[in-house]
Amino acid sequence: MIYYGLYPFVVVIMMRVGFYTLGCKTNQFETQALERLFAARGHTVVDFRSEADVYIVNTCTVTALGDKKSRAAARQAKKRNPNATLIVCGCYAQVSPDAVRELCGADIVVGSSGKGQIVELAEQAQAGHVLQPDLPPALAKKPFECLPAGGLLGRTRALLKVQDGCQNFCTYCLIPFARGPSRSMPFDDAVRECARLEREGYREIVVTGIEISSYGLDLSPARSLAQLAPALCAAAPETRIRLGSLEPRTVTEEFCLALSCHRNLCPHFHLSLQSGCDTTLRAMGRRYDTERFALSCELLRRYFPGCAITTDLITGFPGESEQDFAQTLDFLRRIAFAQVHIFPYSRRKGTRAFSMPGQIPRAEREARAHAAAQVCAQTRMQFLQSRVGQTAEVLFEQRENGLFFGHDMQYCPVRMPGEHLSGQVRLVRIAAAGPDGLSAEPLQSC
C-alpha cells in the first residue's frame, strides 16, 4: 500500500518496523513513543527478529558492554535484511557516531535527542531519500522533547518520561556527554499526560527520566519532584504511580509528607547508592555521604512502613581498597536493601575516572560484585520473608508456567494461580517467599 505523505513530493510506503532497545527505562520509553508514532502513520511494528523494512536500534553507552550489545544488535539487523534501512539512535550513537556508521553499517544515525524525527527519516529513506540529520552536540542546551507516552502492547504499565539529561558529571559516568544538560517536561503537560494515561486504562505509571531528582530546576518558575510527584498521584488517583531512580538527597521530610497521603504512590523507592564508603563516594563525585543516605532510608521507612528500598552499586571503582569495599558490604547489611543492581566498574574513555590511579583488575571488580551479590541476596530474602502473611495489591502482567505473574506495590514479583488475571489489579495474601519472589493466594477483587 502507498499513499502520498505529509511531506512534499514523498510517497509514503507502508513499512514493517522492528525495534531493539538497550539500556534504561528512558530508552524504553522513547522506543515505545516511536512505536506509537509509527503506528499512528499506518506502519506496522514487527518483532525485531523478523524481516522488516526498517530497523531501529536504540542504543546504550552506560558500560562497555552496552556499546558492544548495541553494535551486535545493529549488525544482526543488517544481516537479517541487508536491504532494510538501519537507523541507530540513542546514547552510544551520540557519543560514537563514526563507529556506528563504520562498524555497524548504519544508514542513518540519530543521537539521544531528536528521536521524534525518526518516523519522517524512515519514510524518506524508504522513498529513496536517505537523509542524515545533523547530530547536535550533546552538551548543547536543548528543549525537552515531548513524545507520546504509553506502549502499543496492552495497557498494564506505562512509562512517563518527565525529565532528560544530567549535569552532575559523576566521575565514572558518560551519560551527561550522551544526553546533555537536564531539561524537564513542563509541569502542566506532565500532569495532563498522566491523567490521559489513566483515562486510557493503564494500571501503573512509572515516572522516568535520566535524573528525575533534577526535575523542574530548569523550568520557569522552578519546580521540583516534591511538587510534581504528588500532582501526578492526584491526577491519576486510580492508577499506581511508581517513581524512578532518586538521588538520595531528594528524600526530605517535606518530600515524604507531600507523598505519604497518596495511597496510589508505590512504596518502592530506588535510591542510587553506588558505594557504601565515603572515600569512594567522594572519588565518584557523588554529592551525599553514607549518613545522608541512611537518613533518607530512615525517613522513608518512617513515612512508608514496609516500603521497599532498592539501589545500584558499582564495585571496584578506581582506588577502592579492600577496607573501602568492606565498608560497602557493612553498609549494604545495615540498610538491608530489598534489591540491589550490582555492576562491576566499567572504565569509560572521556570520564575523569578513566585516568584515575588505582585502576582495579577486572577479575577483582567482578569478585567484589559477586561478594556484594551474596550479601544482597540475604537482605532481599529477609525483605521477601517479611511480606509473608501480608495483604498485597498486585498488578498481574502475564501467564508463566501455568501461574499469573505480576508485581506488588513494592515491586516484588508475585505468582498466583487463577484465570484471566492479565492486566488486573488484585488484592492477594502473600503465602510464601522464595528466591524467585512471592507466592500468593486470592483474597478479593479490588
Return residues touching ligand SF4 (CB under 6 A).
166, 168-170, 173, 175-176, 210-211
Extract the C-alpha cell encoding 362.
Answer: 577486572
CB of 117 to ligand SF4, least distance (A): 24
End-to-end Cα spacing for the chain = 45
Nearest approach in angstroms of CB 169 to ligand SF4 is 6
Nearest distance from residue 225's CB to ligand SF4, in Å?
Answer: 14
Q: Which is nearer to ligand SF4, 273 or 425 (CB)?
A: 273
Minimum distance from CB of 374 to ligand SF4 (Å)?
Answer: 25
- Between 21 and 239, CB nearer to ligand SF4: 21
Q: Looking at beta carbons only, is 19 or 317 nearer to ligand SF4? A: 317
Rounded CA gap, 425 and 395, in Å? 4
DSSP characters for 119-187? HHHHHHHHTT---------TTS-----------SS-SSEEEEE-EE------TT--HHHHH-S-EE--H
Complex with ligand SF4: residue 58 or 213, whichever CB lies closer: 213
Nearest approach, Cβ of residue 119 and ligand SF4 (Å): 28
Pairing of strands 163-164, 183-184: antiparallel
**Minimal CA–CA distance to 293: which of 272, 323, 279, 318?**
272
Residue among 246 and 392 whose Cβ is closer to ligand SF4? 246
Give φ, ψ of 334 to 5 degrees.
Answer: -65, -45
The minimum distance between CB 27 and ligand SF4, in angstroms, equals 13
Query: Which residue number, 142 or 196, has a Cβ lying nearer to ligand SF4?
Result: 142
Which C-beta is closer to ligand SF4: that of 319 or that of 413?
Answer: 319
Buried b (16+ CB within 10 A) or exposed e, 359-392: bbeeeebebbbebbeebbeebbeebbeebeeeeb
We find the least distance from the C-beta atom of residue 297 to ligand SF4, in angstroms, to be: 19
Q: What is the dihedral of CA 94, 95, 96, 98, to 10 degrees?
A: 60
Identify the bridge partners of residue 428 per DSSP, sorted by sequence position. 392, 442
Would you state the cell numbers that stand for residue 388, as one nine-digit string? 509473608
Cis geometry, peptide bond prior to residue 221 (ω within 30 degrees of 0):
yes
Choice between 118 and 170, CB closer to ligand SF4: 170
Q: Shortest approach of ligand SF4 to residue 312 CB, angstroms?
A: 9
DSSP one-letter string for 69-91: HHHHHHHHHHHH-TTSEEEEEEH
Per the CB < 8 A criterion, the answer to whether 353 and 318 are in contact is yes
